[in-house]
Each structure stands twice: as structure tokens, then as C-alpha cells.
Amino acid sequence: MNITIVGTGYVGLVTGTTLAELGNTVYCVDIDAKKVEAMKQGSVPIYEPGLEEMFLRNIQAQRLFFTTELKEALEESEVIYLALPTPPGEDGSADLSYVLSVSNQIGELLTDYKVIVNKSTVPVGTADKVRETIAAKTKIPFDVVSNPEFLREGFAVEDSMNPARVIVGSESERAKEIIAKIYQPFTNTGIPIIFMDEKSSELTKYASNSFLAVKITFMNEIANYCEKVGADVDKVRLGMGSDDRIGHRFLFPGIGYGGSCFPKDVKALIKSGKQEDFDFQILEATENVNQAQKVILVSEIEKYFGGNLQGKKIAVWGLAFKANTDDIREASSLDNIEKLLEKGATISAYDAIAEENVRKLLGDKIAYSKDMYSALENADCLLIATEWSEFKNPNFEIMAEKMNNKAIFDGRNMFPLEQIEDKGFFYKSIGRKTLG
Ligand code: NAD
């Protein structure tokens, strides 16, 4: 099948590449001309494990093309995927201007029947808005389908090639047949497509992300309480997770969730609720708890230094919002860095993958190190903000030699207490006994 993808970010580029890998011819459209030019030259604009190889293979096989011209791509395609940003507007609601402006363009360019598949995360009722926007410009028949995306950054290729399920919201038999054909390689291997109405499909995405945000936040509160009463969250986590109604995943406490999805989707669902006079109390609490959790270690660092961080050099390991991505949107590292700088500390940061994005944002407000150990040179303490694998088993002797002061504030509980307890460090993690 010939497919257009509009928007080549984490979702669009990965979706486009995997659809090409499944044998379709895919035209990726983006308004960012520099990005399009780079992709044409074979350069992948984001970090996503396994993507580059698949991307180059499909360009080589002439199944994957890039353009800034929506018209060109549309002429070739039967199906158009929207993978456009839906960032939080000023009031927290999802900003639909990208989705609706492209819908408007599609309405103007339509020459024959097409299926418009929305992969962006959008509030209930957006499929109707997209339909109305296109229909205002054309009499040519078309269908709009909701097909929310569940990929995880860092595992995006794996998730796109082997999704747990595909959700499709549509009442059009014609569109459903076309979508079923695209996803036939999945259904062949037993991956379910769950068909439903558009509104339920749109809400499934928000409900899923919000549920995960609640699960993480619940565990963070349990962790904070563990510290008050002398319980160990590692033990509690294992005990709870062994109940298969709960499961082990998303029970790891830390300095809060960030990223381009959970924070914005929780906000947007709260806002959508308000528009219907409905209070998502549990989500409001989740948001507040998470905001405080992100910087919970700043006050611990301050306490450790007797309330004064002026001139303290703080090493930060990890800048990405989570491991295996270069995405720094709403990353906890940034909240911590901002607060620490405000309090007069200096920062030497290390993140091999996300550094470039942080440089664009913070420039020389902080120093960047080429490896994890040089970030520790004369540092007064270390803050671990991202759970990159390379931090899991560090050489504590080298660390001790480099640091002014052997203190670690671990926002991602990287080390079992047994691994570090005889190393002579002050070690503060989340929900566990403080060492040293
Ligand atoms: P992104 O910001 O990484 O990428 C969006 C792309 O769209 C950018 O390349 C931008 O240049 C392009 N764009 C903007 N306006 C355009 C226009 N008018 N025409 C063509 N291209 C345009 O976004 P993302 O992270 O891929 O997210 C896209 C959507 O998918 C959002 O709604 C998000 O909530 C949802 N989503 C994201 C993830 C994730 O992990 N990132 C997972 C599931 C769902």
C-alpha cells in the first residue's frame, strides 16, 4: 500500500519506517526542511535503538521517501497518517492546531478517496473535528480513523514491529478494511486489533497513559512513606509485584515521570474532564505529587550541605527523561538543574545521548563532560537523574578518587543497597535506608 505520514518525530518516523519495513511504500512529510534534507541524505534525526539500520535499509529499497510537500505525497497515497505534535496549550488542554491545520490542507488537496488515520494523542471528539475541517473544504469522500500510538521511546522500533495490540476507532467498514490490510502482518502473528468507536479509541490512549502515571506516582508515595517508617521499598515492590493483579512493571520509584507524553496527557485529560464539569481528582493529585517528586532530592542535597549550596559543584549523571532516548522534554534532570543553579550550585553533567538537546536548551549555563567519571572531577556530590545502563555498575574507587566528597543522591535507585553499603559513600536513594 502507498502511505503518507505527516510529521516525522518519534512517532511518525518510527511508524513510517516500520510500515516501509512491512512492505508498504511510505512518504514522510515534515515542515522542517532541514530535517527532511538530512533524512534524504540518510541521517536519522532522533536517537532510537534499531531505527537507523531499518531506516537505511528501506531508503535503499526505495520504500521510504521524504518530502516537505504534502501535495506530492498525497497524490501517491491511499492512506494518510497524522503523527503531529499535540503539546499542552497554556491551560493544559491539548493544542490541536497542528492536527487541524494539516486537516485543512488535506481538505484542500484531496482528489480522491483517502483514509486519514490519526496517530497523535488527541482528546475525545477530535476525529469529528478533523472530519468537519476536511469536509469544509471538499466534497470528495474520505474517512477519519483514530489509531492511537502506544510505542515507548527507547523501544519504539521494537514496539512498532511487535505491538501488544492495535486500537482502531472507526465506524466506516471501508476504512476498517483498509486498516486491517495494513496491519495484517500483525494479526497474522496473533497481535490483536481491537476495533471500537472513535471516541473510545481516543480515550483509550489517555486512559492508558494516565493509568501508568498514576501507578508510578502511587509507588513514589509508597516509597516516600517507606522512608518515614523505615520500610524498604525494594522489598515492598517485590512483594506487591508478585501479585499478578498488580505485576512488577511500573513499580520502580524515582524522581518522577517526565517525557513528552505522561505529563501532557495527564494535564490534557484533567482539562477535558473540566470541560464536561468532571473532576479527575486522582489525576490532579498525581500531577501535584509528581511535580514535588521530581525535585525531592534537591532538599535532601541542601540538607546534606547544611542549607547552603552556594559554590557547590554537583555532578549530574543522566539528562534524558528516561534511559535509551535523547528526549529531554519535561525531564526531571532539568527541574533539578534549574533549582540547583538557582541555589548557587554549579553543574557538571554527563549524558552521551541527550547532551546535544540539553546544550540547545541550556547552552553554557552548565558544564558537559565527555564521560561519566570526568563529570565527577572535584564534585561535591553526584545526582543520578536517568537510569542509563552504564551507571549500573560503576567503579566506586574511581568515583571516590575524583570526587571532593563521597556523596550520591540517586533519583533512580540504580544500586541495590548491598552493592554500595561497604563503599564508604553517603548514599541517598528513594524509599530506602540512607547509607553513610
Ligand atoms: P515530535 O514533536 O517528535 O514530532 C512531530 C513532528 O511533526 C516534528 O518533526 C515536526 O516538525 C512535525 N510537524 C509539525 N507541524 C507539521 C506540519 N504542519 N506538517 C508536517 N509536519 C509537521 O512528536 P512525537 O513525539 O512524535 O509525537 C507526535 C504525537 O504522537 C503526539 O500527539 C504525541 O502525544 C503522540 N505520541 C507520542 C509518543 C512518544 O513516545 N513520543 C508515543 C505515543 C504517542
pLDDT in tens, 305-316: 999 999 999 999
CATH number at residue 268: 1.10.1040.10
Ligand 1 center–CA 30 separation, angstroms: 10
Residue 351 in any domain: the answer is: yes
pLDDT band at residue 75 using 50, 70 and 90 as cut-offs: very high
Same-domain pairing of 136 and 186 = yes
* SS3 of residue 6 by DSSP: strand
Q: Which residues are annotated as a binding site?
A: 30, 35, 86, 121, 150-153, 205, 250-254, 258, 264, 322, 329
Same-domain pairing of 304 and 282 = no
* SS3 of residue 232 by DSSP: coil
Q: Which residues are annotated as a binding site for NAD(+)?
A: 30, 35, 86, 121, 153, 264, 329
- Sequence letter at residue 214: V
Same-domain pairing of 181 and 70 = yes
Q: Give the residue carrying C-alpha cell 537505511.
A: 56
DSSP at 303: H
Ligand 1 center–CA 175 separation, angstroms: 23
pLDDT band at residue 40 using 50, 70 and 90 as cut-offs: very high
Among 18, 31, 43, which is best to mutate for testing ligand 1, by the most ligand atoms less than 8 A from CB? 31
Distance, first Cα to last Cα, the chain = 62
Q: Which atom of ligand 1 is nearest to the CA of 45?
A: 9
Residue 409 in any domain: the answer is: yes
CATH number at residue 148: 3.40.50.720
Nearest protein CA to atom 13 of ligand 1, as residue:
7
Residue where a domain stops, chosen among 196, 220, 243 = 196
Ligand 1 center–CA 423 separation, angstroms: 45
Ligand 1 center–CA 435 separation, angstroms: 43
- Sequence letter at residue 21: E
Residue 254 in any domain: the answer is: yes
Number of folded domains in the chain? Answer: 3
Nearest protein CA to atom 3 of ligand 1, as residue:
9
Nearest protein CA to atom 1 of ligand 1, as residue:
9
CA-CA-CA-CA torsion sign (32, 158, 245, 203): positive
Among 27, 120, 260, 328, which is best to mutate for testing ligand 1, by the most ligand atoms less than 8 A from CB? 260
Residue where a domain stops, chosen among 266, 292, 318 = 292
Residue 436 in any domain: the answer is: no
What would the mean pLDDT of 395-407 be, rounded to a whole number?
98
Q: What are phi and psi of 88, to 5 degrees?
A: -70, 135
User: Per DSSP, what are the bridge partners of residue 94?
Assistant: 88
The question of whether 381 is a catalytic residue gets the answer no
Site residues for ligand 1, CB cut-off 6 Å: 6-12, 29-32, 35, 83-86, 98, 101-102, 119-121, 149, 151, 153, 260-261
Same-domain pairing of 157 and 212 = no
Q: What are phi and psi of 338, to 5 degrees?
A: -60, -50
Same-domain pairing of 250 and 368 = no
Q: Which atom of ligand 1 is nearest to the CA of 11?
A: 26
User: Per DSSP, what are the bridge partners of residue 2?
Assistant: 25
Torsion angle, CA of 324/208/181/188, rounded to 10 degrees?
70
Residue where a domain stops, chosen among 162, 196, 230 = 196
**Residues spanned by the domain of 387:** 295-428
pLDDT band at residue 290 using 50, 70 and 90 as cut-offs: very high
Same-domain pairing of 368 and 238 = no
Residues 189-214 have pLDDT tens digits of 999 999 999 999 999 999 999 999 99
Same-domain pairing of 160 and 216 = no
Q: What percent of the chain has pLDDT over 90?
A: 99
Question: What pLDDT was estimated at residue 201?
Answer: 98
Q: Which of 28, 226, 261, 381 is catalytic?
A: 261
Question: What pLDDT was estimated at residue 32?
Answer: 98
CA-CA distance, 408 to 300, in Å (whole number)? 11
Ligand 1 center–CA 86 separation, angstroms: 7
The overall average pLDDT reported for the chain is 97
Same-domain pairing of 189 and 209 = no
Same-domain pairing of 57 and 161 = yes
Q: Which residues are annotated as a binding site for substrate?
A: 150-153, 205, 250-254, 258, 322
Q: Which residues contact 227 (CB under 8 A, 6 or more apart)?
A: 431, 432
Residues 343-377 have pLDDT tens digits of 999 999 999 999 999 999 999 999 999 999 999 99
Question: What pLDDT was estimated at residue 78?
Answer: 97
Which DSSP string corresponds to 64-100? EEEES-HHHHHHH-SEEEE-----B-TTSSB--HHHH
CA-CA distance, 289 to 329, in Å (whole number)? 19
Same-domain pairing of 132 and 157 = yes
Q: What are phi and psi of 208, to 5 degrees?
A: -65, -50
Residue 433 in any domain: the answer is: no
Question: Are 80 and 178 spatial neighbours (Cβ–Cβ below 8 Å)?
Answer: no
pLDDT band at residue 403 using 50, 70 and 90 as cut-offs: very high
pLDDT band at residue 406 using 50, 70 and 90 as cut-offs: very high
Residue 435 in any domain: the answer is: no
Which one, of 117, 235, 108, lies nearest residue 166 by Cα? Answer: 117
* SS3 of residue 130 by DSSP: helix
Residue 371 in any domain: the answer is: yes
DSSP at 352: T
Residue 13 in any domain: the answer is: yes
Question: What pLDDT was estimated at residue 346?
Answer: 98
Same-domain pairing of 133 and 22 = yes
Ligand 1 center–CA 96 separation, angstroms: 12
Same-domain pairing of 26 and 174 = yes
CA triplet 247, 251, 252: central angle to 5 degrees? 140
97, three cell numbers: 492546531
